[in-house]
Amino acid sequence: MNAVEIDWNEKAKRLLKSELVRRGISTEDLVGLLENIGVDETKASIDSKISRGTFSAAFLIQCLNAMGIRNFVPEIEGEMLLHEPIAYYQTKINKAKYK
């Protein structure tokens, strides 16, 4: 398989921006929403994080929570899949085999 160059920071940035746009929430609004859950950010710091796309998973979760998003299923584009998705599960047979 050929290695695919993916700009993960760009993907993260687009993901968060799309959720903001989808809900009609500006970064200025997000400052207040984050403040409501005890997260202290400025508009400039949020704009900077989103612009770079280098924010932490914790920041993403804070933003989603502040926006009231309880079920988050990001759209994963075909180019982001490096291989076929793998389903992890154990059947009763597999469980019995490892006892």
SS3 content of the chain, % helix, strand, coil (to 5): 55, 0, 45
Position 21 scores a pLDDT of 94
| CATH 1.10.3720.10 fits domain 1-73 | no
User: Taking the chain (99 residues) in consecutive chunks of 10 residues, what is each chunk's mean pLDDT?
Assistant: 71 91 95 97 96 94 93 66 55 55
Position 7 scores a pLDDT of 85
- Domain spans of the chain, in order of start: 1-73
Q: How long, in residues, is the chain?
A: 99
Residue 20: both structure tokens together: 């903001």
Position 78 scores a pLDDT of 57
- How far is Cα 32 from Cα 19, in angstroms, rounded to an integer? 16
